[in-house]
Amino acid sequence: MGNRSKKIDFNKKYLDMKEIVTKQKSLLKDTEKLLNKQIEMEGKSSAYYLSMASWCEMKGYENSAEFLYRHSEEERMHMLKLIRYVNEAGGHALQPEIIGIKHSFETLREVFEQVLDHEIAVTISINHLVDHCFGQKDFATFQFLQWYVKEQREEETLARRALELFDIIGEGGIGLWTIDQEIVKLEGKVSAAQSMGEGK
Ligand code: OFO
């Protein structure tokens, strides 16, 4: 057999194989749809935090800006992780269209109030997805999502701690400057506290 016909033979086998794999697709349509909605939500989180980071940087809140730039990157990673999972499970992950991102904020406190509101909305969405997968006996996706359940617990706590700083320190005098200094230290403290709670 010449090289060319070997190549054709291989291509044919590969196409047949793809068909077999597609028939064995494990993801239900409803689950795929919900996962795509979650992809959109993570993409929006990334864009929200990027916009907030830029506002903070422009206003001179450098540490808050760093904190939010980093979180924007993390949310993008959450989105990519979901995209790869959906495609590996035989579905089609869709690049979300992101519009309507807010660019201006009244105060630094408003930024962190919105971070907390947004993280609570993400947790509700993840819980709904987990509940759906359990109901459908899709235990593979259920297990995959446990990472997000844990991540949300940490992110919600982090957002709460950030907001508490405004009440504890106060915004008058050098208060805002101090809050901006303290915000970056929170991450280490929250993850250490959670590791201790998990007995690590
Ligand atoms: Fe904090 O949103 Fe991702 O998971």
**Are the C-beta atoms of residues 128 and 84 closer than 8 Å to each other?**
no
Asked whether 151 lines ligand 1 (CB < 6 A), one says yes
- pLDDT at site 62: 95
C-alpha of residue 119 to centroid of ligand 1, in Å? 7
Looking from the CA of residue 78, the nearest atom of ligand 1 is: 3
CATH, residue 56: 1.20.1260.10
- pLDDT at site 124: 97
Residue 71 lies in a domain: yes
- pLDDT at site 12: 65
More confident residue, 199 or 151: 151
Mean pLDDT of the chain: 89
Looking from the CA of residue 148, the nearest atom of ligand 1 is: 4
Residue 15 lies in a domain: no
Task: Identify the band that residue 188 occupies on the pLDDT scale cut at 50, 70 and 90.
Answer: confident
Residue 47 lies in a domain: yes
CA neighbor of 136 nearest in space, from 43, 31, 61: 31
More confident residue, 174 or 5: 174
Q: How many Cβ atoms sit within 10 Å of the Cβ of residue 20?
A: 8
- pLDDT at site 20: 52
CA neighbor of 182 nearest in space, from 197, 171, 193, 198: 171
Encode pLDDT of 65-93 as tens digits. Answer: 999 999 999 999 999 999 999 999 999 99
C-alpha of residue 43 to centroid of ligand 1, in Å? 9
Residue 18 lies in a domain: no
Structural domains of the chain, count: 1
Encode pLDDT of 30-63 as tens digits. Answer: 999 999 999 999 999 999 999 999 999 999 999 9
- pLDDT at site 39: 98
Asked whether 122 lines ligand 1 (CB < 6 A), one says yes
Residue 22 lies in a domain: no
- pLDDT at site 126: 98
Encode pLDDT of 101-152 as tens digits. Answer: 999 999 999 999 999 999 999 999 999 999 999 999 999 999 999 999 999 9
Residue 2 lies in a domain: no
Residue 55 lies in a domain: yes
Q: Domain range for residue 75?
A: 28-197
More confident residue, 82 or 184: 82
CA dist 44 and 97 (Å) reads 9
Task: Identify the band that residue 154 occupies on the pLDDT scale cut at 50, 70 and 90.
Answer: very high
Asked whether 152 lines ligand 1 (CB < 6 A), one says yes
CA dist 116 and 46 (Å) reads 14
Residue 163 lies in a domain: yes
Give the pair of three-digit tokens for residue 157: 């706590």
